[in-house]
Amino acid sequence: MSSSPSSSWYDTLTSTPVLIATAVGVSFAAIFAASSSSSKTPQQVKEQVKEIKNAAVNAGDAKGKAAQTGASIMSAPATDLAPPKDDPISASDLAQYDGSDPSKPIYIAIKGRVFDVTAKPEMYGQGRGYNVFAGKDASKGLGMSSLDIKDAVPDYSSLNESQMNTLNQWESFFEKRYNIVGKVVP
Ligand code: HEM
């Protein structure tokens, strides 16, 4: 969660509540659908969703009110982004930036472009709700609104149209908030 709910924290990204609504719906579906092939037990998934939900609820009055009125409950876009870089980063290099070492940056790739999400250790750091996306290209999981580690993979070719839409919205969400530090190379 963003730690400083400023007066202008909500933004004009009106599609973001849709993303969360999708994520919430899918994650609840995932709780009930969680199968033995999943690496997490249904209870663990439930706990994870609860943790995220509590974080959202505790985010403060402003966020709660904005969520009720349909404004975005997401952090505001950044105003000071650096020009995107396309330095090559291998998947194994990327894996080192998974939040397990607090002295290193945290990276998340979407469609091969690597975003620096170091500013949000409370979301992406070790043990945190969205750590599943850290240190990898997890395009498929983002498109599926899935926090399941088995979905956190780069190949998103199986996504249907609405999942592609979700992935594209996350891509645009990240583009507005995080610096692009490179691209994943084989
Ligand atoms: C009950 C379920 C969920 C709730 C209540 C919830 C709530 C939230 C909230 C309030 C934020 C904004 C945090 C901020 O602005 O600082 C957020 C961000 C986010 N959520 Fe969820 N979420 C849920 C499930 C999911 C699922 C299943 C996914 C899987 C794709 C997901 C992916 C994300 C991502 C990628 C962010 C962006 C974090 C960032 O970089 O700022 N969420 N969520």
Query: What is the pLDDT, as a whole number, of residue 43?
Result: 75
Q: Name the token pair of 109.
A: 């790739």
Q: What does pLDDT average to over the chain? A: 81
88-185: which CATH topology? Flavocytochrome B2; Chain A, domain 1 (3.10.120)
Of 74, 173, 178, best ligand 1 pocket probe by most atoms within 8 Å of the beta carbon: 74
User: Which atom of ligand 1 is closest in space to residue 55's alpha carbon?
Assistant: 10
Per DSSP, 99 falls in state S
Of 125, 156, 149, 152, residue with least CA distance to 45: 149
How many residues are recorded in the chain?
A: 186
Query: What is the pLDDT, as a whole number, of residue 2?
Result: 42
Domain ranges of the chain: 88-185
Q: How far is CA 28 from the centre of its chain?
A: 17
Of 27, 40, 52, best ligand 1 pocket probe by most atoms within 8 Å of the beta carbon: 52
Say how far apart CA 52 and CA 81 lie, in whole Å: 27
Give tens-digit pLDDT for 58-114: 555 555 555 555 567 788 999 999 999 999 999 999 999 999 999 999 999 999 999
Is the minimum distance from the CB of 181 to ligand 1 under 6 angstroms?
A: no
Give tens-digit pLDDT for 174-185: 999 999 999 999
Instruction: Output the pTM of the full model.
Output: 0.78
Ligand 1, atom 7, lies closest to the CA of 56
